[in-house]
Amino acid sequence: MKIIYIANIRVPTEKAHGIQIAKMCEAFASSNFEDIEMELIAPQRFNHIRDNPFEYYGIEKNFKIKKLFCLDLIPLDKFLGPISFWVESFTFSLSVFLYLLFKKSNFIYSRDLPPLFLLSFFKKNLFYEMHDFPLKFQRRFCQIIFKKIKGIITTNEWKKKEAQRVFGLRDDEIFKSFNGVDIGRFHLKETKTECRKKLGLAQDKKIVLYTGHLYSWKGVDVLTEVSQYLPKNIEIYFVGGTEKDIKRFKIQHSKRSDRRCRIQIVGHRPHLEIPYWLKSADVLVLPNTAKQDISKYWTSPLKMLEYMASGTPIVASDLPSVREIVDENSAFLVKPDDSLSLSQGIKKILQNTQLADMVSGQAFQNVQQYTWIKRAKKILNFVNKNHAIFS
């Protein structure tokens, strides 16, 4: 069986969607339904990361990666604005169309609508994985494509219900499947002390940790404000972010005069190193904002599942997107966009060992259902119901 996955991304990329796509390709290829030939199609783009993608993501080399031509103007987005992305997207989509026009496959899968749009005039085996919910000006375009493709996969229940409401989709046309995690990779045998030693972290400090990008909708600004409420024996670590975002973040928060505890901005680290950071922490924080729909409703954060698999207690914003995965039994939920509430949640976890053990234990038990292989098999079953890919 031949599966094509189209992804308009840099390969590899430091962003979370790169991990999600790489892990899904690996999972599709090893799902054990039958012999599967998996091919990932991506654009040939300028990339500051030179590593081999399979080594970068720490995944099995059980699928092929094909890079196609695009006119990559995205490095010039400072001067060209949105037009740089649209040019790149159109030229890549055209390359995909020409490459796949006469190529046979059991089904074609993508998170990107432009290449599916062109293919939809000639291919009937298309499936779309929805991550961002379409904005109002995009919905007419989406309506046209959704009528032509075989099925839609969403990463949470809110997007599924909203898509049904806005686009009139039937239950059999849309399927919800949360993201996944490699539990074995994130549940380490090493102790907290050993992980801190490996990373060169202090053994006598309490560590509050955030991993991921430094976008405002992820609530990182609120987490920096927490430093005014926490004592000096606590350190707040930010692990992740692009060079541009790290520079902005440092400038933005370097002038705070009310800070009591220390803030450490580590920057981007290889994904294979992240489990050691999570195990080194005393508290993991997901401080997403309620001010933007992408955070409040759309997202299905990979980091939440990685946090759960690590066995370290979690403090998270009380949002609909977060509650689809955790509740009061598996995380300490706090008022979003409220640094005082967030600080109180952190203190309660640090001061109450019984509470910390309870929520971390329940989170680890709950995350067992969210493996990449289980996700791939569920999606393949949905695809089979809509397109009969298995004999």
Q: Which domain holds residue 244?
A: 183-369
Q: Which pLDDT score is estimated for 176?
A: 97
- Give yes or no for a contact between 329 and 359, defined as CB atoms under 8 angstroms apart: yes
Amino acid sitting at position 64: K
Name the burial class of residue 20, with classes exposed (0-12), middle (13-18) and buried (19+) by CB atoms within 10 angstroms of its CB: buried
**Helix, coil or strand: residue 108:** strand
Residues 168 and 235 occupy one common structural domain: no
pTM over 0.85? The answer is yes
User: Which CATH number fits the domain that encloses residue 188?
Assistant: 3.40.50.2000
Residues 13 and 90 occupy one common structural domain: yes
Residues 86 and 49 occupy one common structural domain: yes
Residues 203 and 322 occupy one common structural domain: yes
Q: Which has the higher per-residue pLDDT, 364 or 268? A: 364
pLDDT at 69 over 80: yes
User: Measuring CA to CA, how many Å separate 171 from each of 101, 152, 160, 174?
Assistant: 30, 10, 9, 6
Amino acid sitting at position 202: A
Q: Which pLDDT score is estimated for 40?
A: 98
Cα gap 346→334, rounded to integer Å: 9
Cα gap 387→150, rounded to integer Å: 7
Other CB atoms within a 10 A radius of the CB of residue 157 amount to: 14
Give the strand order in the sheet containing 206-211: 262-267, 234-239, 206-211, 283-286, 314-317, 332-334
pLDDT at 391 over 60: no
How many domains does the chain contain in total? 2
pLDDT at 371 over 70: yes
Name the burial class of residue 174, with classes exposed (0-12), middle (13-18) and buried (19+) by CB atoms within 10 angstroms of its CB: buried
Q: Which pLDDT score is estimated for 257?
A: 63
Residues 159 and 23 occupy one common structural domain: yes
Find the mean pLDDT for residues 340-350. 97
Residues 200 and 145 occupy one common structural domain: no
Q: What percent of the chain has pLDDT over 90?
A: 87
Find the mean pLDDT for residues 322-351. 97
Q: Which pLDDT score is estimated for 262?
A: 87
Residues 218 and 287 occupy one common structural domain: yes
Residues 160 and 197 occupy one common structural domain: no
Q: What percent of the chain has pLDDT over 70?
A: 98
- Closest by CA position to 173, among listed 149, 205, 156, 194: 149
Highest-scoring range by mean pLDDT, 134-148, 249-263, 342-356? 342-356
Alpha helix positions (H), 101-202? 113-119, 139-146, 157-167, 183-186, 192-199
Residues 166 and 214 occupy one common structural domain: no
Give 119-165 pLDDT, tens digit per residue.
999 999 999 999 999 989 999 999 999 999 999 999 999 999 999 99
**Helix, coil or strand: residue 221:** helix
Residues 100 and 136 occupy one common structural domain: yes
Residues 160 and 187 occupy one common structural domain: no
Residues 115 and 187 occupy one common structural domain: no
